[in-house]
Structure 1
């Protein structure tokens, strides 16, 4: 019969991942692979003495989550890819170290219960992913702002050209009329090009498998709202955020931020100058609720039931002539449902619209 411990020991001894075995009743580590020093920068010989200090260094926002996942392990659940932040030993305010844990309970007999698992230092890859996520989120917001800023002047020029065309019609100048038609056509094509670019970017980024992470949703939504607030003067709208200081939740950060960005985009299109758009976050024991409310023109009752259909017949141009493909709401619904959530809409003509997203908790 194979001795699996002997067979797998060379793998554990040479791996850059830390392999460990923890004796639950004795509250002691009984095995640590040599990677302990590389992962945590501490000598193996003092591991049990260091353990309480390591636990105390878990980031305050992660301590409750770490305790919950450890309880899951003791309940016999296989816990995989749990990401936690560890504050630096010499500088609690410095950048954290990111660790990824996988653990499982092994009960051999009474008073002989072990937790075995692995720990990996993912600080470098996490920093890369976080930077990419921040860039992607900001890119979506900036694209929407730029599309509004770029499309607005073209729409205004088209309207001016139409007005001039009506005033000079009596001149019966064929060349002048042709130039005015060229201006109108060029302006409309430019607006279409801008909106097509933005819609295509959002559509392509939606067609990606979900990557669930533990995310501070409050911080993400607050930052997105702040970016729009900085553009209030150009957008001629007011943006507000209400919610807790922190709110950690498992979801696909990029996809949910895309959902909120698309909702903001829709609200911007149908809220007149001087209007207000409010984003609210509510955390409940079993679910997360994201609500976006505007005081715009509202959605006709007959369109609300088909609003989330692909190429919906409810699509209509924005107040400033913004083009729509009828895909934005369909993308939103798809992403929310991939998170096993729901989205609802309430609207009244000339009084505004409220979208409510409900996401179930899966800790």
Structure 2
């Protein structure tokens, strides 16, 4: 009964504050805030009264690399009146960086001719740090699995070849010896297939989940992946190189799935590039999209199968240079994930020259 005596606004404010949410209302006509939750200073780093008297004070707290992004989001909201959700960084008084997620919508009252932007902001710094660490270790795991798969494929293939040679050159009349040799050959095939199946299933399972897009630094994530490959260059006898701007590149992606795509393209490059070959990942930030390419100087893709490369169970599938098997689903899944991001994937390839895949992802 006592709760009924407490103003509803007070209850809502207390609940919002407990969950780290900050509500606000901004009058677009007067260019002033009509409401800011008391918890504003804790989240943003400056006092609410300073913002009431001078709204532009907010800009001084926004990370300089995110000014253009937020300006674009504001213009988009004003033009379309559609809800926006923006993730950006603020710089706190102690110079630490805090990630903020802001959700806003356009509100219009025709009677009073008042036009407002209302919404809430919340601190997502811990979530971002957690996601970054998960992505970092997941990237290392995927790169290690690909290297392990390729590195073990060669000895397994050598065992199979040795058994075939043994069967051709040696008289194996003894049934027990024939059976023993058969077991060795089967185990070599099974071991090779088991490793490849495990790696392939990791990729197949990742494609089955709904996208969870966040604003992430793709340049940093790809750089971490390439560093993992560079550390193990000797194991696969390949050279790995990355060409990218010396600054963050932020786009909205499901980073786990996107990195699986890049990793899968690198895996294909490894399988179809001879020893001492090179694999280069390049990133460029364009006006409205990010261009990422994965290039190798391997055996290339026959021109007759180019039109079918992205088909499910494609006729373009073939074993790798070390005998690595394929399901024929990889490129189809890659295309699906890219298209779910409203992006596009294309390629250029010439036999005995190499292959380059191009991925274009819109910035938002």
- TM-score normalized by the length of structure 2: 0.87
Residue in structure 1 matching 2:93, options 85, 89, 95: 89
- Whether 1:348 aligns to 2:350 is yes
Give the aligned partner of residue 59 of structure 2: 55
Deviation for aligned residue 1:85: 1.2
What is the Cα deviation at residue 137 of structure 1?
A: 2.5
After the TM superposition, which residues 278-357 of structure 1 pair with which residues of structure 2 at under 5 Å, given as runs?
A: 278-357=280-359
**What does residue 227 of structure 2 align with?**
226
Query: 2:127 is matched with which residue?
Result: 125
When the two chains are superposed, the root-mean-square deviation of aligned CA atoms in Å is 2.6
Partner of 1:250: 252
Match of 1:265, SS?
Answer: helix
1:242-300 per-position Cα deviation (integer Å, ceiling 9, x unaligned): 22223222222122211111111111111111111122223222333222221111122
1: CA distance, partners of 2:224 / 2:129: 18
Kept in 1: contact 2:51–2:57 (CA 8 A): no
In the alignment, structure 1 residue 207 sits paired with structure 2 residue 211: no
How many angstroms apart in 2 are the aligned matches of 1:192 and 1:313? 20
Q: Distance in 1 between matches of 2:315 and 2:242?
A: 31
Secondary structure of the corresponding residue to residue 241 of structure 2:
strand
What per-residue deviation string (whole Å, max 9, x for no partner) do you get for residues 282-322 of structure 1? Answer: 32223332222211111222222212111112211110011
Deviation of the 1:100 alpha carbon: 1.0
Shift of 1:26: 4.6
Find the aligned partners of 2:184 and 2:297 in 1 and give their Cα distance.
34
> What is the rounded CA distance, in whole Å, between the counterparts of 1:21 and 1:152 in structure 2?
64
Cα displacement string for residues 191-245 of structure 1 (whole angstroms, at most 9, x for unaligned residues): 0011111111110011111122222222222222221111111110011122222
Asked if the contact 2:172–2:178 (Cα under 8 Å) also holds between the matched residues in 1, the reply is no
Question: In structure 2, what is the Cα distance between the partners aligned to 1:55 and 1:265?
Answer: 44
Contact 2:61 2:90 in 1 (8 A): yes
Distance 1:294 1:38 in 2: 50
Structure 1 residue 72 corresponds to structure 2 residue 73: no
For the residues of structure 1 that align with 2:117 and 2:348, how far apart are their CA atoms? Answer: 50
Partners of 1:98 and 1:352 lie apart in 2 by 42
CA offsets per residue over residues 13-40 of structure 1, 9 Å max, x none? Answer: 5312111122345543332223324434
Instruction: Report how far residue 331 of structure 1 moved.
Output: 0.8
Which residue number in structure 2 is paired with residue 180 of structure 1?
181
Between the aligned partners of 2:181 and 2:301, the Cα distance in structure 1 is: 34
Per the alignment, residue 3 of structure 2 pairs with none
Distance 1:356 1:42, change over 3 A: closer
Gap change, CA 1:154 and 1:71, over 3 Å in 2: same
Query: Residue in 2 aligned with 1:11?
Result: 12
Q: Please say if 1:239 is aligned against 2:233.
A: no
Which residue number corresponds to residue 279 of structure 2? 277
**What is the deviation of 1:106?**
3.7
TM-score (norm 1): 0.87
